[in-house]
Structure 1
Amino acid sequence: MVKPAVVDRLQQLVESPGQLAACVEDVAHSARVGLDTESNGFHAYYEKVCLLQISTPEADWAIDTLALGVAPLLPLLADRARECVLHAAEYDVLCMKRDYGFSFGRIFDTHAAAKALGIDRVGLHDLLGDQLGVQLAVDEQRSDWGKRPLSPEQLQYAFADVSYLLPLREKLGEELGARQLLAEAEAEFARLIAKEPRPREFDPEGWQRMKAARALDGRGRAVLRELYLLRDRRARDLNRPPFKVLSDLFLAEAARRQPKGEEELLRVPGTSLGALKKVGSQVLEAVKKGLSAEPIPRPRPGGGNGPQWRRGSPGAPPPEVEDRYQRLRAWRRSRAEARKVEVQVIAPNAVLWAIARANPSHLDALSRVEGMDAFRLEQYGPSILEALHRPGDQQKLL
């Protein structure tokens, strides 16, 4: 039976140095803490951590990182003697490195643990319901965490995200140990800690991935490009996400209709009158600039996801590399099916491509391939080499 979450412990919004000191003292006396972050990525061009939540055996803390520095906490969270429990840790790991130049010492990721166990429903709310019988009703994930004051609903959501991480970790940890999967999970936790954030880079050719790019004619595409570039410049200036400045629908329709004046512009769907008053003249100038440019050819299909090549085409990997990659995929699929886990638990695509390109002939060479940590090497190394060098028509389900 799923029961609503019940709180019978201290939950403190940390807004003053004194409250932060109390939080630091509590963490210092805890060998294991739950942790989560809330950022403003849905509401700002330049994302940053706005709230840091920490759960100890004694209390839950929500630190207002816009009001306080978190430097006193960082050494405690970097201490390998202390385990930090997170759910879907990659995002939090990257945010903490980006904003504070900080790396966790030791983590337990309940999302990665659940995937290693072959659990189908691995979202936090699903895991809490299925594993602990706790139902969380509030969802404020996409609310504006950069606005102050925070609402009661936001705080309820923020605390709920960490309140049950420690008991969830206990349950999943016991199952990992019982099934002798703890070493595999810990290898994944280490990989997550090692991930590095990438600076946000604007792709000036990103407009080609829009559906409209294939439907428009050459001049329409030139207009779409100019509108796309304008939207990003405006988003940077306002520190707002591009989609909140001008919608994709507006860009596509403006590129199709190509308004010449204010009256025509006001008939373009996809934005508000208020937004057009602020940016309308720049939109008309972008349309004019696009119409005066050279028409742009239709983009190639497959511009968004997946390989940007066809077998044997310029830029494609050599056929022998792709053949090795396909043999490794077949090996991975059979392993995943035998364990009843997702294929990415066995090895991500990037690791398979790295192996296919390196074409190692022995374990020592395989160990030098990026992504082949000690666990993968021990568990899968010999069978990877066998799959790699076995002709495709003789491939076994290893």
Structure 2
Amino acid sequence: MSTPPPAYAYIETPEGVLALSRELDSVDRIGIDTESDSMHSYFEKVCLLQISLPGDRIFIIDPLRVKDLSPLKARLEDPAVRKVLHGADYDIVCLKRDFGIAMRGTFCTMTGGLLLGLEKIGLADMVERQFGVRLAKAFTKSDWAARPLSTGQLEYLVQDVQFLIPLAEEVDRRLREADLVEEAAIEFARLEERQPAPREFDPWGFLRVRGSRALPERGRAILRALVAMREEKSREIDRPPFKVIANDTLLRVAETAPESAGRLRSIKGISPYVMRRWGDDVLEAVKRGLADPETVPDRAPPRVDGEGDGERRMSFAAQKRHGRLKEWRTEAARKAGRTTLAVLPNPAMFDLARTPPKDLAALAAMPGVGAHRAKLYGEEILRIVTPKRG
């Protein structure tokens, strides 16, 4: 069933933000969501901040009109006040990046659903299952920087926070029943440590274009030059790359290697607008690719540092420990009727494989493990990572 959204206050002045800060002082739970414009801008920004308070009090803050949200900072960073979000990592990073707000006291209903092993963990799915209400999702890809907002968009914004607090209460109850309170707290704390990263151009990103690896070497050289050109133009006009020239169009250009405007114009995806605005740039990129003396492999070189390549940076012995831990975790989760995340999260598994703890106390102190997991699985884990133990 659908239900009409409650009333809301739209805040677009410094006085409105100050008034809201006083409202926050009186509560111990806050529902939070943000809307950004990553689908419509190169330089992503938070365009709207929605807040729900107990008693169906809902506020929509417009940070494009009121830039200073510092009156809200102390309460949003207070760990004693529960902040309820769904898919919290994205919102946490956005609030840090744009407003310098480092959220504490986080409760992520999506992460709770993952720990519990729910089949569907989208907000709309969880709300419908718990409350029998269908959320409207027609505005998910809206350009949230555009004004004015429509009535439908405003209803969508309200619904995205309307059910967060009662949903968190139900998820919290189920986590307690499943004896997953500490595990949830560890995951919520890990989300809070996420940091915004500057947008950097990946020189090997052209290999993520579908079909790039099937190109001959000169085709890959052209595609590399085309993707670099597109990135430059995207930054200049503050538009996401896919809205400048689509990947499949760049691939066709790389396959065809046009050297004249007439040949370029005939390629599917090169519209009159693209031709008029960037046609010369595309042809120049093709010329650079054809003249590129470098060998262009069909695989990116191995990463030597940075996040996301933990397995590659492990020694052979650590990789073997990781493999044994992964097999054990799957079986332990099956026996306990729990998710693998509840048994042992991936980051903790990598750390255990790299640096095995010497005893239960050291295991419990490792990030991502905790006393409860050490009590439940500690002896088994130690036997796996230190085979000569006892």
**TM-score, length-scaled by structure 2:** 0.90
Partner amino acid, structure 1, of 2:275: L
Instruction: Give 1:346's match in structure 2, choosing from 340, 343, 347.
Output: 343
Distance in 1 of aligned mates of 2:301 and 2:12:
48
Q: What does residue range 1-398 of structure 1 map to in structure 2 within 5 Å?
A: 3-7=1-5, 9-58=6-55, 59-68=57-66, 69-294=68-293, 296-300=295-299, 317-367=314-364, 369-390=366-387
1:379–1:94 distance in 2 versus 1, CA, 3 Å: farther
Distance in 2 of aligned mates of 1:271 and 1:202:
24
1:73–1:308 distance in 2 versus 1, CA, 3 Å: closer
Whether contact under 8 Å (1:187, 1:375) holds in the other structure is no
Distance in 2 of aligned mates of 1:308 and 1:258:
35
* 1:66 Cα offset (Å): 0.8
Whether contact under 8 Å (1:60, 1:163) holds in the other structure is yes
* 1:301 Cα offset (Å): 8.7
Distance in 1 of aligned mates of 2:374 and 2:184:
14
* 1:353 Cα offset (Å): 1.9
- Deviation per CA, 1:65-98: give whole Å up to 9, x if none: 1111211111111122211111111111111111
Distance in 2 of aligned mates of 1:214 and 1:285:
22
Distance in 1 of aligned mates of 2:309 and 2:190:
27
May I ask how many residue pairs the two structures share in their alignment? 383
1:144–1:331 distance in 2 versus 1, CA, 3 Å: same
**TM-score, length-scaled by structure 1:** 0.89
Q: What secondary structure sits across from 2:71 in the alignment? A: coil
Whether contact under 8 Å (2:207, 2:298) holds in the other structure is yes
- Deviation per CA, 1:171-206: give whole Å up to 9, x if none: 122222233222221222122112222222211111
* 1:234 Cα offset (Å): 0.7
Whether contact under 8 Å (1:84, 1:107) holds in the other structure is yes
Partner amino acid, structure 1, of 2:173: E
Distance in 2 of aligned mates of 1:110 and 1:326:
30
Partner amino acid, structure 2, of 1:349: N
Percent identical across equivalent pairs?
A: 37
Partner amino acid, structure 1, of 2:53: T
1:365–1:166 distance in 2 versus 1, CA, 3 Å: closer
1:102–1:219 distance in 2 versus 1, CA, 3 Å: same
Whether contact under 8 Å (2:207, 2:300) holds in the other structure is no
Q: What secondary structure sits across from 2:50 in the alignment? A: strand
Whether contact under 8 Å (1:12, 1:61) holds in the other structure is yes
Partner amino acid, structure 1, of 2:281: Q
Whether contact under 8 Å (1:235, 1:241) holds in the other structure is yes
Specify every segment of 5 or more residues in structure 1 that has no aligned partner in the other structure, as ranges.
Answer: 392-398
Distance in 1 of aligned mates of 2:371 and 2:92:
22
Structure 1 range deviating more: 369-378 or 345-354: 369-378
Aligned residue number for residue 395 of structure 1: none
Distance in 2 of aligned mates of 1:65 and 1:30:
23
The two structures, once aligned, show a CA RMSD in angstroms of 2.5
* 1:364 Cα offset (Å): 4.3
Whether contact under 8 Å (1:32, 1:82) holds in the other structure is yes
Specify every segment of 5 or more residues in structure 2 that has no aligned partner in the other structure, as ranges.
Answer: none
